[in-house]
Amino acid sequence: MKFERFLSLTGIEVELLIENRMYVDGEFVTNDETVATTDPATGTHLADVPVATEDQINQAVAAAARASQEWNSYSPVEKGKRLETFADALSEASDDLANLDVADTGSTIKRMQYDPEKGAELIRYFAGLITELKGDTLPTEGQTFDFTRREPYGVVAAISPFNHPAMFVGKKLAPALAAGNGIVMKPSEVTPLSALYVGHLVEETAIFPDGLVNFITGAGGVGQMLVEHPNVDLINMNGSVEVGKRVMESAATNVTDVILELGGKNPTIVFPDANVEKAATGAAKGMSLPWQGQSCSSGSRLLVHESIRDDVVSRVVDRFEAVRPDDPFKESADMGSIVSRQQYEKVLRYIEQTKEESAELLTGGEAIQPFETGYFIEPTVFEVAPELTIANEEVFGPVLSVITWSDYEEMIEIANGVDYGLTASVWTDSLQDAHRAIEDLEAGYVWVNQHGGHFTGAPFGGYKESGIGKKDSLEGLIGHTRLKNVNVNFEGGTHDWHSLG
């Protein structure tokens, strides 16, 4: 395994990253078929990871189902303690995990250093929520008693995206385990290394029953087999709308419940009374440039009122032009590399198509090459009409579309006129305008005078094609449970319901 550049920076022992191993039923397993992962900033080969077979997937699902029974024999307090202990292990490994993610994703260390700790924070949060899984008592008639109880699904199949690997381990594990489920997690085949490292932490800490947590690797076919498995009880998936729809189709085969967090084409809306400096800074920061715009919540559409359009846009362009794409391991790097050749080529196709559609290029728009190899693209801003492709489809790259508006109703129609509804931000000093927009926007998460701040405990999830379900919150924990109703008759005989009425 060629990991010299990475290892020299992190000091991780090579044996912790042995190639061709994934974590199934409490042990590491191998396979003859593998898929390579590379450092997108340099093109350097990092490792080969196994492509899970159908038998290995069956083993992982069976192990998760079995281990969840033992896990649920523990008291809620004991489960919480074990989750908190595992969160501590994740925190202790945060430097190693962050560096793995930088090598694997191409995103900057400036940003990725926070992801492992965010994953640990989520585990601690859900550990503390376990005792909130409560039922209700319901009013009845006669000598009967009716109550509800929350129960785990059983086996959760978790499919995570490529952009925040270590953080998504926490996002997926935490609610699944806190609710009492076993889990089979498949990280993106592009960025699997930190998930496999967490597999080592699961093995080393021995906190969970063997088989409760499983990591399988491979390309899309592996995920397809996992979500189609008849013994998977819940699917929790992050990714593109296209893949999400395929997951729903597969889930329909077994009538399996799904939680989906998919794409976004999120508007940053600037009203005429907004603070120009703050709005411009927020619009630039909201594009998630430290990870190359590869975020589902990025504010990739800037809808700015015509009266302050020039002042806001000129400042946004200045901020984009000040961004320095560089080696993502450098603390000075403002932006890193696109995650893969496939994603790089996709972003460039959108840029070229937008140029051909005669949109005005305000800055950027070209590939750049800080190294001999690597997938770097300039931060890019276009002035576009609302009907252009780039104003309606998720690019998932460092490309901002500027749209000017003059009428409120027109602006809301543009903001809501896409298939997505994940996030939005509103920039105004008017409480009336802010609340009017909050009510009218078709988005699951709305910021006012900021874009991108998200604290643990706030439900995150979208409308329309941006997904189903909420995460990072009590709602996210409840979403990993099933509701059972119980009706008890104290009269000592059968109730003749058919005689009623």
In a domain, 93, yes or no: yes
In a domain, 250, yes or no: yes
Q: How confident is the model over 476-493, as a mean pLDDT?
A: 93
Which among 264, 263, 298, 265 has a CA at the least distance from the CA of 398? Answer: 298
First to last CA, the chain: 75
Phi, psi of 428 (to 5 degrees): -165, 155
pLDDT for the residue 7 = 52
- Catalytic residue, from 189, 228, 261, 378: name it: 261
214: CATH: 3.40.605.10
Q: 13: burial class by Cβ within 10 Å (0-12, 13-18, 19+)?
A: exposed
Q: pLDDT-based confidence at 499, cuts 50/70/90?
A: low
pLDDT for the residue 12 = 52
Read off the tokens for 257: 């419940």
DSSP track, 22-61:
EEETTEEE--S-EEEEEETTTTEEEEEEE---HHHHHHHH
pLDDT > 80? residue 375: yes
pLDDT > 50? residue 1: no
In a domain, 28, yes or no: yes
- Residue-wise pLDDT for 442-462, tens only, equals 999 999 999 998 889 999 999
395 and 274 co-located in one domain: yes
pTM of the model: 0.94
366: CATH: 3.40.309.10
Q: How confident is the model over 469-483, as a mean pLDDT?
A: 98
142 and 49 co-located in one domain: yes
Share of the chain above pLDDT 70, in %: 94
pLDDT > 60? residue 17: no
- Residue-wise pLDDT for 342-362, tens only, equals 999 999 999 999 999 989 999
319 and 342 co-located in one domain: yes
pLDDT for the residue 361 = 98
235 and 383 co-located in one domain: no
222 and 271 co-located in one domain: no
In a domain, 461, yes or no: no
The number of domains in the chain is 2
- Residue-wise pLDDT for 190-232, tens only, equals 999 999 999 999 999 999 999 999 999 999 899 999 999 999 9
Q: Which residue has the higher pLDDT, 8 or 345?
A: 345
In a domain, 226, yes or no: yes
pLDDT > 80? residue 19: no
Q: Return the HEC string of 368-396.
A: ECCCCCCCEECCEEEECCCCCHHHCCCCC
- Is residue 345 annotated as part of the catalytic site, yes or no? no
- Residue-wise pLDDT for 72-98, tens only, equals 999 999 999 999 999 999 999 999 999
CA distances (Å), 121 to each of 28, 66, 88, in order? 27, 27, 9
pLDDT for the residue 11 = 47
Which among 285, 369, 448 has a CA at the least distance from the CA of 42? Answer: 369
Q: How many C-beta atoms lie closer than 10 Å to residue 256's C-beta?
A: 22
pLDDT for the residue 491 = 83
- Residue-wise pLDDT for 250-292, tens only, equals 999 999 999 999 999 999 999 999 999 999 999 999 999 999 9
276 and 176 co-located in one domain: no
pLDDT for the residue 2 = 40
Looking at residue 424, its amino acid is A
56 and 90 co-located in one domain: yes
Share of the chain above pLDDT 90, in %: 89
192 and 214 co-located in one domain: yes
- Residue-wise pLDDT for 377-436, tens only, equals 999 999 999 999 999 999 999 999 999 999 999 999 999 999 999 999 999 999 999 999
Helix/strand/coil for 364: coil
Q: How confident is the model over 44-60, as a mean pLDDT?
A: 95
Residue 272 sits in which domain range?
Answer: 267-448
